[in-house]
Amino acid sequence: MPATTIPTEDHKDIEELKQRIDGFYSGKEDEERFKLYRLTRGVYGQRQFGVQMFRTKIPYGKITTAQLKALADISERYTNGNLHLTTRQNVQMHFVKLSDSPLIWEDLAAAGLTAREACGNTVRNITASPTAGIDPEEPFDVAPYVQATFEYFLRNPICQEMGRKIKPAFSSSERDSAYTYFHDFGFIPRLREHGGELRRGFKVVIGGGLGAVGAIAQTVYEFLPDDQIIPFMEACIRVFDRYGEREKRMKARMKFLIKKMGVEAFMKLAKEEWPSLPQQSVPIVPEEEEVLLPDAPQGRPEIKDQAHYQRWLVLNTFRQKQERFYGVQVKVPRGDIHARVARPLADLVKAYAADDIRITVQQGLLLRFVRPEALPYLYNGLQALGLADLGADSIADITSCPGTDTCALGVTNSTGLASKLEQVLLEEYEELLETSDIRIKISGCMNSCGQHMAAQIGLHGSSIKTGAQVLPAMQVVLGGGVSPEGEGFIAQKVIKLPTKRIPQALRTLLDDFQSNSTTGQRFNKYFQEQGKRYFYTLLKPLAETDNLIAEDYFDWGQDEAYRQEIGVGECAGVTLDVIGTILGEAQVKYQLAEEAIDAEAFADGIYHAYTSMIIGAKALLLARDVNCNTHRKILKDFQEHYIATNDFPALTEDFEAFVLEMKEQAPTPEFAATYLKKAQSFRKRVIAVREAQLKEAGQDKLVVDNYYKA
């Protein structure tokens, strides 16, 4: 693609990625350091050696038909042709050559898409209810707020190298169809009367999460005015960046920091950050977008299976808040759609719906603004493409991560099991597609990429040892998800079962529920009444291992006996550096500070200068074998090991106050210039101290540690 068709920021990112890849191939760049870099550019190592998964970043899952075609073209040009839709409303492509990743990004950028901060310790994709803008129960459309938040934090220096990732979500209504309750930041729209007018704002929750240790987000505002949501997020991220754990990766999410210090203390620190924010208020003025629609089709096409069509209307469509328009949900099994299907689908959408496709958190697609006259035409087109399966967003629409298909962390196969369970449901429990609130979600490991802890029936990959052999297993979790009133629940572990017995376990659970629940009772209410022990006893016979057969030792979709092969997750790994390399990072941050201030991005420049001082202090602490797990600890330890001992000349004041002046001051041009000079002076002194240490030691110090990411 010609560079002129690519936005300047993307072009700069692409050129940098090319240079870093060249440096990696030529041996000039350490593999682990390069890994941390490429993750923030959407390039994630795959289970299979020598290939990558490439992830896009698509706020609230919105793509146009032209973008869908562009993705299809890219996937055929550089991968196996498959587009994988994720639970975070993104698109992933697998089996990508590292050298092709800049070319993929060029084509994405030309189509108005990006890969920046799709992975890594950044603000990840911002998800939202796919029905935003058409939800009959929404107070207002949250999509413009998601877009503004995405744009604000993209490439923002405060969130490029945090201890761990941040995941935000916006729901369209109180029903919480975006699952805000398990996100780091969750926003639910509300209206409140102010001065005789209705003002827009959000209920705000923070500190949620899934993974091995689930946490329900805590409410910190019942109503936060809409112009305050971005400053609020920025203040909280600054606190997380400074106080968040970096040594123990499994304790590095924001939920653990809030649990450790308490939500009140966390909020107090966030409010203390506000004077230093570039903007105390960020008004978001939603633009009225004209929905361009094709003309209504004339006549009525022949439908071969009227019964199936009528069920499809009931199960896969709904009335929008806009009169005489329908939303159409498209079930995409396992979230996989091939380019040869994606392209004609784009043409079909263009002919009968708005040019606005939403990827859903259920790994499906939502088509919008479909006229009633167009529904039979659209149905026929979807049927021809194999996309008219019944039960989108129902019990038979099972979420599953790729598992051992491609993920290095996968323990068992998610996709093969999902296919089998869908078959069981459609053949034996078809009536539940319409009447049940049960959702089934599967993850290949405990990390919850398939969001199993947010399902009424969840499963995650595990294993069971029987003598000298190991067989694939699934941990069954029950009772998660969102109630009709919008209350969120984290599922509870019940029992571990051989994976080949999971279909029978599902039958046992559903038969018991249908036989013993009261009329109209929800599954989670039934689970809570009966208790976890009841379900453990119910499923215990399936856990017995004295009657195993040969088939039990094979995972779903596998033609050889199971072998547990767990790789290393891409966000972890040994770091091997010399102090000089770390000082080089401090220099890079200082240069970024100069560039930002020259461009009058004063808040960005100040934060880069702050980071350069943190990294410089870290380098000297590591030279004395002092662990560095948070920014806050670096500030205190540098005071103890260098300032208090008079080992850092010309700086006698409190080091913490010296560096953190940036959070006490507004980011004015004058303060930015003063703070930059302070960072420059500190950097020069760090270099002088290190040179004296090298002269005494005779060689640079090698730092080998799993975690010194502060």
CA neighbor of 205 nearest in space, from 225, 224, 191, 192: 224
2 pLDDT above the threshold of 50: no
Residues of the chain with CATH 3.30.70.3340: 306-384
CATH number attached to the domain at 399-553: 3.30.413.10
Alpha-carbon separation of residue 231 from 196, 222, 267 (angstroms): 26, 17, 13
Range 592-604 average pLDDT = 94
pLDDT at 571: 44
Find out whether 52 and 34 touch, Cβ atoms under 8 Å. no
- CATH of range 306-384; options 1.10.287.110, 3.30.70.3340, 3.40.50.720, 3.10.20.30: 3.30.70.3340
Low-confidence winner among 47-51, 378-382, 596-600 (lowest mean pLDDT) = 47-51
- For domain 575-705, say whether CATH 1.20.120.330 is its number: yes
Residues of the chain with CATH 1.20.120.330: 575-705
Residue range 166-216, pLDDT digits in tens: 999 999 999 999 999 999 999 999 999 988 899 999 999 999 999 878 899
3-state secondary structure of 673: helix
Tell me the pLDDT band of 574, cut-offs 50, 70 and 90. very low
* Cut 0.75: pTM above it: yes
Beta strand 52-55 pairing with 43-45: antiparallel
Residues of the chain with CATH 3.30.413.10: 127-276, 399-553
Q: Which long-range contacts (CB under 8 A, 24 or more apart) does 513-522 make?
A: 522/437, 522/483, 522/484
Find out whether 696 and 235 touch, Cβ atoms under 8 Å. no
Range 67-74 average pLDDT = 98
Residue range 257-279, pLDDT digits in tens: 999 999 999 999 999 999 999 99
Residue with tokens 């940036």: 662
Residues of the chain with CATH 3.90.480.20: 3-64+74-110
C-alpha to C-alpha distance for 641 and 647, rounded to whole angstroms: 8
How would DSSP label each residue in 122-190? SB---EE-TTTTT-TT-SS--HHHHHHHHHHHTT-GGGSS-SS-B-EEE-SSTT-TT-GGGSSEEEEEE
3-state secondary structure of 338: strand
Domain formed by 3-64+74-110, architecture = Alpha-Beta Complex (3.90)
Length in residues, the chain = 710
558 pLDDT above the threshold of 90: no
What backbone phi and psi angles, to 5 degrees, belong to 56?
A: -90, 165
3-state secondary structure of 399: strand
Domain formed by 127-276, architecture = 2-Layer Sandwich (3.30)
C-alpha to C-alpha distance for 538 and 518, rounded to whole angstroms: 18
CA neighbor of 459 nearest in space, from 468, 470, 450, 472: 450
Number of C-alpha atoms within 13 angstroms, CB side, residue 116? Answer: 23
C-alpha to C-alpha distance for 540 and 533, rounded to whole angstroms: 10
Find out whether 220 and 184 touch, Cβ atoms under 8 Å. no
560 pLDDT above the threshold of 90: no
